[in-house]
Amino acid sequence: MPEPYRRRRRRRRAVPAVPLLLGTVLVCLIAAVLWVLLRDRGPEAKDIPVPDYVEQDYLTVNEWSRPGTPLEEISGVVIHYVGNPGTTARANRNYFESLSSGLENTYASSHFIVGLEGEVIQCIPLTEIAYASNGRNGDTVSIEVCHPDETGEFSPVTYDRTVELTAWLCVQFKLDPETDVIRHYDVTGKECPRYYVEHPEAWDTFLADVAAAVKEQEEAHG
């Protein structure tokens, strides 16, 4: 009678120590690089509650003023003026909403509008782009500012609120007012915001005021 067949045990091959060590080192290096890249980034926009003075009244999603395109990063704030003296934040928000019909064949909107009395309306979530700053739509937050007359100079209450809002955005997204807060003019050469293009010293003062407000807000929140 033949002997029963005996299955030969396969010997487990030992995992070479050197490749295993190299793999571990590579994983650690990738983790370290990601930590360095992400440590200075602000929180995700969707997780940030806006200040109490901001009224959120989003535009309906449409092709012309709120396309719903994700805003992948926030690396700057662009300041605009509405260019229509004496109009309110509400009127400008409603104008953006009216563009949704497509009748004017115009693309335009803004994340925030600061009004003549210092009121603020948010038209677009901070997770989506606005049609405001041309080539910088994809990485900036836009602020349209109302003004009382043709000069485009902001009234004191509007100015103060714009400084406060801009500083808040800088704090939340770890932006430097000196380099990351710009005018529409700095993107396209358009005379916007007019007064602060025609008077560069006024713009320098605005940036200094934003920097001071950033410091105050950071100290107030520890």
Look at residues 2, 167, 160, 190 and name the one whose alpha carbon lies nearest to residue 81: 190
pLDDT at 36 over 50: no
Q: Tell me: the pLDDT tens digits for 117-127?
A: 999 999 999 99
The answer to whether residue 110 is domain-embedded is yes
Query: Mean pLDDT score of the chain, rounded to an integer?
Result: 88
In a domain, 103, yes or no: yes
Q: Could you tell me if residue 108 is inside a domain?
A: yes
Asked if the model's pLDDT at residue 222 lies above 90, the reply is no
Say which residue the tokens 């990738």 belong to.
30
Distance CA 147, CA 85 (A): 6
Q: What is the mean pLDDT of residues 75-103?
A: 98
Of the chain, the percentage scoring pLDDT greater than 70 comes to 79
- Summarize the chain as % helix, strand, coil (round to 5): 40, 15, 45
- Look at residue 34 in the predicted model and tell me its pLDDT: 45
pLDDT at 33: 42
Confidence (pLDDT) at 38: 39
Task: Specify the CATH number for the domain of residue 126.
Answer: 3.40.80.10
Residue 93: which domain range? 45-220
Domain assignment of residue 142, yes or no: yes
pLDDT score of 142: 98
Provide the pLDDT for residue 115.
Answer: 98
**CA-derived radius of gyration, the chain:** 26
Phi, then psi, of 182 in degrees rounded to 5: -135, 170
Q: Which helix (H) or strand (E) holds 55?
A: strand 54-56
**Tally of domains in the chain:** 1
Is the pLDDT at 74 greater than 90, yes or no? yes
Q: Tell me whether residue 192 is in a domain.
A: yes
Does 8 score more than 90 pLDDT? no
- What percentage of the chain reaches a pLDDT higher than 90? 77
Is 182 within a domain?
yes
Interval 160-202: pLDDT, tens = 999 999 999 999 999 999 999 999 999 999 999 999 999 999 9
